[in-house]
Amino acid sequence: MRAATDAGFDLAGIAPVGDSPELEYFPQWIAEGHAGEMGYLEGRDEQGRLKRASLARVAPWARSVVVCAINYNTAQPYSTQVPDQSTNGQGRGWISRYAWSQNDYHDSVMQWLRRVELAVRNASGASDLVTRCYVDTGPIVERVAAKYAGIGWIGKNTCIIHQKLGSWLFLGVILTSLELEPGLPAPDRCGSCTRCIEACPTDALIAPYQLDSNKCISYLTIEKHSVIAEELRSGMGRHIFGCDICQDVCPWNRKAPATDAKEFQPRPELVNPALDWLAEISAEEFRSTFRGSPVRRAKRAGLRRNAVIAMGNSGDQKLLPLLEKLTADKDEAVAESADWAIEKLRRGAKSA
């Protein structure tokens, strides 16, 4: 679609409004507890039915879904290509590449999506046209719509994958009452590859195309605000916000191009950030550093907790004095995590 290209998107397509096998599985996924503490995924209508399980139910006026996608990959190494720098006394963490920029992608993608929406409205000429724009905020499973719009296929890591751009894609959707010609679903090109499943440190990919959020590092470091189970902490490695491992190892991302969009260019201080800095970051510095950033979603308490767990996984004995100090922190999650991290580092030193 020319309007999407003019707005700045790399891909666009039309999906029909209707149920699909993926959405039919959604209620079972919720019932099995795989959504963890993400209660917003369990939003229900007046009849108690899951909203995200049927777009036709929550938006009966909708006739088509316009799906737009933009590449956010940058010319930086993947997490799997960067060695843990703690071996030379520089304990560093890892922030998911989508959160390296100053701007929250929700805001940037929504601005571009509004331009496409305006173009659709102008082209239709219908005075009674209804449209709604969403960027991860509506009762819709975007990757399912993206599949049926021909944007890409849903990989075994549950991400949408495009044959040329890979999986580093932000998605935005426009629901419209306009009847548009839908695209064709992209064929599944994962084949027999299971690298994403094998690479997940916490075994969150419980089967091809199936994710248990309770074990996912992205969920643990961003969405989970209660205590993280000890058996999952070692698998978190040095990740402090999100995780890209299942995408980093995907063969379709080997030649993924870097974006030219200035909105997604990385801030150097957020690529491999210092763990000691984040573990002690003040409320004021957190606000100023991450103003407008997706990292705000983890909140200061969550980010500090994650940094302390990463310190325990770092193997860097030079972090022990700071961890000793943090055992008396006012934040109970930070203090408890510091106790765990100290024990982990000392066990590592004895076995070395």
Residues linked to residue 341 through DSSP beta bridges, in sequence order: none
Catalytic residue among 10, 45, 104, 136: 136
**DSSP label of 79:** G
**203 carries an active-site annotation:** no
Q: Which ranges of 237-318 would DSSP assign to H, the alpha helix? A: 245-248, 275-279, 283-289, 299-314
| Closest listed residue to residue 69, CA positions, set 143, 154, 175, 140 | 143
- Listed in sequence order, the residues at least 6 apart from 148 whose beta carbon sits closer than 8 Å to its beta carbon are 15, 16, 20, 182, 183, 185
Exposed/middle/buried for residue 292 (C-beta within 10 Å: 0-12, 13-18, 19+): exposed
Q: Which ranges of 101-259 would DSSP assign to H, the alpha helix? A: 105-124, 142-148, 195-199, 217-218, 230-233, 245-248
> What is residue 274's three-state secondary structure?
strand
What are the catalytic residues? 136
